[in-house]
Structure 1
Amino acid sequence: MEPVLSNPQSDRVKKVRALHRRSSRQRAGLFLAEGPQAVRELLRFRPETAQTVYAVADADAELVELAAGRGVPVREVTDAVMTAMCEAQHPQGIAAVARPVDVPLQDALAGDGYVVVLTNVRDPGNAGTVIRGADAAGARCVLVSDASVDIYNPKVVRSTVGSLWHLPVSLGGSVEEIFAACRSAGLRLLATDGIGTQLLPDTDLATPHAWVMGNEAWGLEPEVRDACDEVVRVPIYGHAESLNLAMAATVCMYASAAAAHPKSR
């Protein structure tokens, strides 16, 4: 049994800490999952990608046992080391280093159901929340363009709350490549934008489709919006100026889920 890792300045701790940076994640081919929920879902759904679990002495014993049972090495660390490793100000006592779970674009599109496309989504919290919503609302997959935030950013991973390991997520394609693949898969492209003349309740969601989400600040670029089949607007019934990206995406995704599962309404 390895000794407790107690030096926050050790090379191992620095290597884990470095995974907060995109360049380091890309070089190492690894990323950091923080907190019990993220670690639990990693171990339940994709244990083969887990490299090492780090846990403080009073960490969730069931999670430690789960890691051991899945053949994932567990290294005990002090609270100071856990704080040095994690990005969160108040770490929850357990974290894991894992390999990415990228799915090729064509493989991600091979299933059934609607698709979610993120174009130029830069905010980590929004990206993670959309992935979580896509999981909850039964999306086929999430396709993330090369201009969007790295989904292995610790903030994104935390905000997915484990959904990162529940559904296919494909990364790195250009918008043009993603749109071409969606069309080849028989999907209508539905842009979501506040200037849309098509209202969400009036949109046909019974046929295969992909929701196309844009940047938090400026929405969809005109050429991206023009490349879509319809531009859909979520109606505002009160006095709010607009919905933020994650809220609008969730409303649209649940509308698709309701169309696919009418008996559950």
Structure 2
Amino acid sequence: MDNPRSDRVRSVSSLSKRSVRTRTGRFAVEGPQGVREAVRHAPARVRDVYLTAEALDRYADDIVAPARAAALWVHEVTPEVLAAMAETDAPQGVLAVVDTTSPSLDDVLAAGPRLLVLLSHVRDPGNAGTVIRGADAAGADAVLVSEASVDVHSSKVVRSTAGSLFHLPVVTGLDVAATLARLRGAGVRTYAADGSGTTLLPDADLTGPHCWVMGNEAWGLPDEVRDACDDVVRVPIHGLAESLNLAMAATICLYASAGRREDWAADG
């Protein structure tokens, strides 16, 4: 494919718009890491894979071979075509179009989760993507995202997840208050991660099923959300830093939970 002005190229390029992603139920994944994980872990959702000639050779084993083994459409394109499709300046010769998925809170709760994270009004795509990546690394069962948060299928979020978007359920469009009530009804304790917390992270009871609730980058969690949680937990700061970045704090909390896995097993 060598025409950067073709209808197909324009169609893929239009996925940079949230309205188009919502209407088509598809989004673009740029770069080898994200495309590799989509092909490996969600092949049924991958519509097309586009690679330059150089990328076809470079990623022959870890992207092209598994994509063809899964009977996916693999297209060779010129660098100009890929640049016209991509939102980033340097997509590294690889792009895929993938169907969105719509896991529900019901699905997550039915699976008996032990560790969850809820993003409340998180607007920064880098933070949202990094939390998804951290949740995946810590062995969380799902990431829950409020209706007022960033679109997890935007290119910046997708890149920040480094492929973790295809490893665990990400439930979007949730009402925070209703979600907290559902979690409580399912026996999942909720911990607001907030600098105002009186419980320090090392003292928090992380042995049972629980969900970390993370707030907006600028204003944190509103009073009504903190009050609706079972506890408000603070990450101790031992140096002179005023505070932690949202994604940093979330990763620390998630790994504190992951460190209690032996207790989880003993708890049944």
Q: Report the TM-score when normalising by structure 2.
A: 0.94
Q: Residue 252 of structure 1 aligns to which amino acid in structure 2?
A: C
1:31-84 C-alpha deviation (Å, 9 max, x unpaired): 001111111111111100000001101111121121111111011111011111
- For residues 128 and 86 of structure 2, what CA distance do their matches in structure 1 show? 20
Q: Structure 2: how far apart are the matches of 1:184 and 1:95?
A: 42
Supply the AA of the counterpart residue of 1:208.
Answer: P
Q: CA deviation at 1:262?
A: 6.4
Identity %: 58
Give the SS at the match of 2:54.
coil
CA distance in 2: counterparts of 1:261 and 1:151, whole angstroms: 32
How many pairs does the alignment contain?
A: 259
1:181 counterpart residue number? 182
Q: Unaligned stretches of 5+ in structure 2?
A: none
CA contact (8 A) 2:207 2:263 kept: no
- 1:37 aligns to 2:37 (yes or no): no
Q: CA deviation at 1:206?
A: 0.6
Could you say which residue in structure 2 is the equivalent of 1:67? 67
What does residue 81 of structure 2 align with? 81
Q: Give the corresponding residue for 2:100.
A: 100
**SS of aligned partner of 2:29:** strand
The one-letter code sitting in structure 2 at the alignment partner of 1:91 is P
Residue 257 of structure 1 is matched in structure 2 by 258
The separation in 1 between residues aligned to 2:70 and 2:185, in whole angstroms, is 38
Please report how far the alpha carbon of residue 101 of structure 1 lies from its aligned counterpart in structure 2 after TM superposition.
2.4
- Aligned residue for 1:58, secondary structure, equals helix
Inter-partner Cα distance in structure 2 for 1:261 and 1:12: 51
Are the equivalent residues in 2 in contact too, given 1:38–1:162 (CA < 8 A)?
Answer: yes
Q: Counterparts of 1:43 and 1:71 in 2: how far apart (Å)?
A: 11
Look up the SS of the partner of 1:103 in the other structure.
coil
Cα distance in 1 for partners of 2:43, 2:241 equals 43
State how 1:10-49 maps to structure 2 within 5 Å: 10-49=6-45
Structure 2 distance, partners of 1:69, 1:113, is 35
Task: Tell whether the 8 Å contact from 1:106 to 1:181 is kept in structure 2 after alignment.
Answer: no
Structure 1 length normalisation: TM-score? 0.95
Determine if contact 2:131/2:250 at 8 Å carries over to the other structure: yes
Q: Residues 163 and 111 (structure 1 numbering): CA distance in 2 closer, same or farther, change over 3 Å? A: farther
Structure 1 residue 250 displacement after superposition: 0.4
CA distance in 2 between counterparts of 1:83 and 1:144 reads: 31
Q: Which residue of 2 aligns with 1:137?
A: 138
State the one-letter code of the partner of 2:4. Answer: P
Cα deviation digits, residues 225-251 of structure 1 (max 9, x gap): 111111111000000000000000000
Could you tell me which residue of structure 1 aligns to residue 202 of structure 2? 201
- Residue type of the alignment partner of 2:219: W
SS of the residue aligned with 2:172? Answer: strand
SS at match of 1:19: helix
- Cα distance in 2 for partners of 1:126, 1:8 equals 32
The answer as to 2:221 corresponding to 1:220 is yes
Is residue 101–residue 165 contact of structure 1 (8 Å, CA) maintained in 2?
no
Q: Relative to 1, partners in 2 of residues 1:36 and 1:226: Cα closer, same or farther, differing over 3 Å?
A: same
3-state SS in 2 of match to 1:117? strand
RMSD over aligned Cα atoms = 1.3
Q: Could you tell me which of 49, 52, 57 is aligned with 2:53?
A: 57
Q: Measure how far apart 1:114 and its partner are.
A: 1.1
Deviation at 1:8, TM superposition (A): 1.5
Q: What is the aligned partner in structure 2 of residue 9 from structure 1?
A: 5
Matched-pair contact (CA < 8 Å) for 1:29–1:100 = yes
- Given that 1:132 and 1:160 are in contact with CA atoms closer than 8 Å, whether structure 2 keeps it comes out as yes
Following superposition, the deviation at residue 176 of structure 1 comes to: 2.1
Unaligned 5+ runs, structure 1: none
Aligned residues of 2:31 and 2:91 also touching (Cα < 8 A) = yes
Q: Greater helix percent: which structure?
A: 2
Give 1:178 shift.
1.4
